[in-house]
Structure 1
Amino acid sequence: MRKFNNLVLNEWLKLSKKRTFFVAYALLIVLPFLVGYIVHSVAAELFASGPAFAAEMMMPTAIGQVVSILVIIGTAGIVTKEYSQGTIKFLLIRARSRTAILASKYMTVLLYALSLTVVTTIAVYASGSVWFGMDGDRLGIGDVLTSVLYNSVYLVMYTALAFMIGILTTSTGVTIGSTMFAITISNMVIFRDFYKYVLFPNMNLAAYEGGGAPIPGMTLHFSILVLSVYFVLFLLAGFMVFRRRDVA
C-alpha cells in the first residue's frame, strides 16, 4: 500500500507542476460569485435563498458541468503525455506493475476531481449566501449535497470515458475533443427503446426526482446498473490495452 501511495503522490506532484494547475481552482472560486452577481442583478427573485442557488449551480447542467470539463482538460494528458514525451519507457522499467502504475494515475484523476468539487461546492455555497441570503425556503445543505452527488456521478463517468480514450488513442487532443463532443451531445434525447441502454440518458439521475424519468419506462435502479456496466467497461478496456501495449 505504501508503494501505491508513493505512486499516487508522484502522479499528483507531476500534475500540480503544470502551469495551469491552479487556474482551474481560481476559475471555480471566481465563477460562482460572478454568476451569483449576474443572476442577483438581473433576476434576484429566481432563487429564494443561498442553498437554493447552490443546489441548482452544482447540477451537471450548470457550474457542475464546468467542473467536469476542467477535470477532463486538466487530466487528459496524464497518460497520453507519457507517450508523446517518451517518458512511458522509463515509467514502465520501474519495479511496479503496469496495473499499479495506471491505477495510480486514475486515482490521481479522482483526487483532482474531488478537490475541484470540494472547492466549487464551498465557493457556490458562499456565493449563494452573499447574494441570496440563508433564509427564504426550506432548502439546506442536504439539498446542496444531493446536487453534488448527482454531479459526481456525471463527473466520474466522463472522467472514466476520457481516461479510456486517452489510453486507446495516446492523444491528448483526441481525448479532450472526443469527450467534449460526448458532453455536447449528451442532452440529445432519442425516444426509441434502444436509447435507454445508451450512456447519456442514464447519467441524469436528477430526472428521477418527483417520480420522473429521462425516458418513459426507465427507473433509477436501471440507470445505476447501466452506468455501472459502462464504468467497468471503460476501465477494463483501458487497463487491458495499457497492459498489453508494446512501448519498445
Structure 2
Amino acid sequence: MKIYRRPGTWVMYGLLILMLLIVGMFTKFLLDDPSGQVTGADNNGQIQVTMEEEFVSNDDWHQAVHSRNIQLQMMIDDPNIPSAVKDRYSQEIIINEYRLEHDIPPVETKSYWGYMTSTVNLISLITMFTIIVAAGIVAGEFSWGTIKLLLIRPVSRAKILLSKYIATFVFALSMLLALFLFSFAIGGLFFGFSAITQPHLVFTNGEVIERNMFTHLFMLYGLSSVELLMMATFAFMISTVFRSSSLAIGLALFLMFTGTQLVHVLSQYEWVKYILFANTYLAQYIEGTPIVEGMTMTFSLVMLAIYFVAFNALSWIIFQKRDVAA
C-alpha cells in the first residue's frame, strides 16, 4: 500500500513507458544500421539484443548472410583469435547455413523482434527503480518513526521484514510485466505483428534448433534480471542495517554502474571470479566467453547463492536484534 500510494511510484511507470516510446521511435525513424553487424553484449555486460542473430537492413539478406559467413571464416583462420571465440564463430556459420537452407531471414534491427530484444536493456532502468524502492522500504520506517507502530503489532519481526522484501520484488515483477506488455504493444504499433511467428535459431548439442522467439525473449529477461535480484537485495540489506535510504541508493547504484568495469579491469587476477559482479552476467556462458577462464555456470550460480544468503541473513540478524525504543 505504501509503495503504490506514492506518486513517485507511478512516475517510475510513466518513465518506463516513455523510454519504450523513445526507443520505438528511435528504432523506427532514426536508427541507421546498414552494416549488418552482429550485436551481442557491450563492454558493460548488458545484453544488447539477441545472442547470435545478424541484423541487416537491406532486402537481399541471403547475400548479407553469405558475406557474413565469409567474414567469420576469415576470423576463424586467424591464429590470434582465442579458441572459445572461434567455436562461437563456427556455430554462427552453421546457424547461417541453416538460415539460408530453410529461407529464415535474420532479425533486423528495424523490426518487431529487433525492437523487442533491444528493450531488454531497459531492465537496467527497472533495476534502478527497484533499488530506490528497496532502499526506502525499511529505512523509511525508521526515519518516519512508524517502525514502532509495526513492532507493537502481534506479528514477528521476521514476518515484517519478509513482507517488505516480498513487496519489493512484487514491485519489480510488476515493472517487468509492464515492460513486456507495453513493448509488445508499442512494437506492434510501430512495426506490426507480421513477424511474430519468426523463429529464433540456436545451436545446441551439435545441431540447429528452431525456438519460439518469445522463449528466447524470456530467457533474455531472466538473464538480465539476475542483477536486478542481487542489487535490490543488496540495497535492502544496506537499508535494514544502516537505516539510511540515501546510503543504500547511492552505494547500490554506484556498484551497479562500476562493478562490471572493475571486474574487467581486474580480470587478469584469479580471485576476481569471487566478486559478485563477475557472476551476475550469466550470458557470458551462453556466449562462450567467461570473464575469467575456468569459470562455469555452476560456479556463478553457487557464488550468487552465497551472496544472496549472506545479504538476507545479515538483514534478518540485524533487524531481529535492533533496539528501536530510542
Q: In 1, Cα distance between the equivalents of 2:249 and 2:122?
A: 19
Which shifted more, 92-101 or 211-220?
211-220
Q: Is residue 2:322 matched to residue 1:245?
A: yes
Of the three residues 92, 100, 125, the one matched with 2:184 is 125
1:145 counterpart residue number: 218
Of the three residues 148, 156, 163, the one matched with 1:89 is 148
Which has the greater radius of gyration?
A: 2
Of the three residues 103, 116, 124, the one matched with 1:54 is 116
Which one-letter code corresponds to 1:103 in the other structure? L
Q: In 1, Cα distance between the equivalents of 2:191 and 2:290?
A: 31
Which shifted more, 168-177 or 70-79?
70-79
Q: What is the CA distance between 1:187 and its match in structure 2?
A: 2.2
Aligned-residue Cα RMSD (Å) equals: 1.7
More helix by share: 1
Q: How many residues were matched structurally?
A: 233
Preserved CA contact (<8 Å) 2:109 2:115: yes
Q: Deviations over 1:186-234 (max 9, x none)?
A: 2211211111000001000112113222322211111111101100000
List, as ranges, runs of 4+ consecutive aligned residues in structure 1 with deviation greater than 4 Å. Answer: none
Which shifted more, 120-129 or 171-180?
120-129
Q: What is the CA distance between 1:138 and its match in structure 2?
A: 3.0
Q: In 2, Cα distance between the equivalents of 1:42 and 1:102?
A: 47
Q: What is the CA distance between 1:130 and its match in structure 2?
A: 3.2
Which shifted more, 22-31 or 238-247?
22-31
Going from structure 1 to structure 2, the CA distance change for 1:185 and 1:173 (only over 3 Å counts) comes to same
TM (norm. structure 2) is: 0.68
Which one-letter code corresponds to 2:23 in the other structure? V
Which shifted more, 68-77 or 160-169?
68-77
1:11-22 equivalences in 2 (<5 Å): 13-22=1-10
1:194 counterpart residue number: 271
Going from structure 1 to structure 2, the CA distance change for 1:212 and 1:126 (only over 3 Å counts) comes to farther
TM (norm. structure 1) is: 0.88
Indicate the SS of the match to 2:199: coil
Q: What is the CA distance between 1:101 and its match in structure 2?
A: 0.5
Q: What is the CA distance between 1:55 and its match in structure 2?
A: 2.2
Of the three residues 228, 231, 239, the one matched with 2:305 is 228
Q: In 1, Cα distance between the equivalents of 2:239 and 2:287?
A: 38
Q: In 2, Cα distance between the equivalents of 1:34 and 1:176?
A: 26
- For structure 2, list consecutive stretches of 5 or more residues without a partner in the other structure: 33-56, 58-107, 201-212
2:28 counterpart residue number: 40
Q: In 1, Cα distance between the equivalents of 2:241 and 2:25?
A: 42
Indicate the SS of the match to 2:260: coil
Preserved CA contact (<8 Å) 1:205 1:223: yes
Of the three residues 291, 295, 301, the one matched with 1:214 is 291
Q: Is residue 2:175 matched to residue 1:116?
A: yes
Q: In 1, Cα distance between the equivalents of 2:283 and 2:164?
A: 30
Percent identity between matched residues is 32
Q: What is the CA distance between 1:133 and its match in structure 2?
A: 4.3
Preserved CA contact (<8 Å) 1:207 1:213: yes
Which one-letter code corresponds to 1:125 in the other structure? F
Preserved CA contact (<8 Å) 1:50 1:130: no
